[in-house]
Amino acid sequence: MTRCKDKIAIVTGAASGIGRAIALELAREGAWVSVWDVNESALAEVKSAIEALGVPAMTQVVDVSSRSQVRKAAHEVVKAWNRVDILVNNAGICRMGAIEEIQEDEWDLVMAVNLKGTFLCSQAVMGGMKKQGSGKIINLGSLSGKVGGIVAGAHYSASKAAIMCFTKSLARELAPYGVNVNGMAPGVIETDMTRTLAAGDYSSYVAGIPMGRVGAVKEAARVAVFLASEDASYLAGEIIDVNGGQFMD
């Protein structure tokens, strides 16, 4: 399948987990993919995996909470490949803890990476997308942002709720220019992050999932690819739940 053939994509937080899976699925659909993360060594492996699928890839070590780093990396993509067609704002960090115990610096860090990072990356590419009259931006929210947390703290949940609201604001602003902005809200997906939070035991979470299992990263990635393709050309501001029926709205 080549739903994203020769499209230029940026995926943040692409060194592992859902981000890595999204980058690979986009590549399988023909996209050229720039993978961003702070984990330089892991990025090299992702780049090799993408290139093995027969499409170009590039890596950039980027702290998405830094405006200068984001702007520089986005400029490098455009310089090398002329444009950006797809942005997947996946980069994020998760922290646990009762609200009373959350330190101010930890709150600020989670907000800076998750929410500010989504804003900065979107801002860096939206001008080009407006000029070309097309583009897809996909933002990663979370089930935690809808229900106040399941395996995460309030700061993570609040950041994800804000991302989902920001998605709607951005969608409203960019839709007149032919740019589709949508999001997805994964539930419990099996990644290194969730394995750490759950100590590898998902039994308590599975009990509340009608499908009787946690999700696989590829299942989340396929939803992102759908939103990045022309199959989603009439969607704007939509947040797709990917949670096995754990939460329905």
Catalytic residue among 156, 177, 202, 205: 156
Distance of CA 209 to the CA centre of its chain: 23
The two structure tokens encoding residue 75? 């400029």
* 205 part of the active site: no
40, 89, 90, 170 from 128: Cα distances, Å: 27, 17, 20, 15
- Of the candidates 157, 69, 156, the one whose C-alpha atom is nearest the C-alpha of residue 120 is 69
The two structure tokens encoding residue 28? 């399988």
As annotated, the active-site residues are 156
